[in-house]
Chain A
């Protein structure tokens, strides 16, 4: 059974391994639209999938955060990826299945998944 005492163990383990967090300007940011439109379209499992995939790969220097309505509700769930020094990439109609590919191709290997971007989907 999970207990608060386990948090103490997590604390000790984590503090030992914790390196300076890379939340600064040179971090890659993944931003998920979490307004009513995004939530209704399925942003919650998408955000969950990103945090789980990043944790699974132990990727450092990448943050996941939320924002309000991005303004194209019909394309929600929308995810924006900000890689320092590069133009923002907007992925639309996101699903849990698309997350692993974006993390692998774009976040890790630097190749934008063009077919999921707003440019490819929006008519």
Chain B
């Protein structure tokens, strides 16, 4: 994966496949510690302790179509090569939380990339699910919630082109403000 945002898209697809109605995606940065933490938390079908123990093995998957699952191992590798780590907590019937810590000052740190596209695609391709995206840095943060958007939009679907464009602009703008860039 060339960008961590692609890992986020990949991991969140697992939440969709697990039947999650709500998926929380959080990207948190601590500049003093040189740490970036990515968390994907869902209320999907969850996993048994045995499945969690096996999930880091690329040759373990619950799919029947093929016997290889690379998503989690790739995400783990991306975190560990920076000196960080990956943690999965899951409970059958409750949901799964996958979080990875990256050391941003490592030479092997993969750039975060275009999280806006990842979030916009997840939301517009799964209009029957809810997503909450939170981006924070050193205690400051912003949130995009489809629950909140739905309340305002009423019957207008979340994949309406104008709505998708608004989401992208909103996330980009808020990210810029958060990271101390353009403040309009």
Contact = CB atoms under 8 A, between A and B. Distances in A.
Interface of A: 1-2, 4, 6-8, 10-11, 13-15, 18, 21, 34-37, 39-40, 44-45, 47-48, 51, 54-55, 64-66, 68-69, 71
Contact of B9 (A10, A18, A21, A44): A44
11 contacts: A2-B169, A4-B152, A7-B166, A13-B162, A14-B160, A18-B156, A35-B10, A40-B1, A45-B117, A55-B164, A64-B125
Contacts of B120: 48
A51 B160 CA distance: 10
Interface string B114-126: 1001101100110
Nearest to A58: B161
Interface stretch (B49-57, B65-73, B99-107): B65-73
Instruction: Please classify the interface of chain B as helix (H, G, I), strand (E, B), loop, or mixed, using the class held by over half of its residues.
Output: helix
Interface residues of B, number: 39
A8 B149 CA distance: 9
Given A2-B166, A10-B166, A34-B9, 5 more contacts: A1-B184, A2-B170, A2-B174, A8-B152, A14-B163
B173 A2 contact: yes
Contacts of A35: 10, 13
A114 B170 CA distance: 39
B18 interface: no
Nearest to B14: A36
Contacts of A6: 166
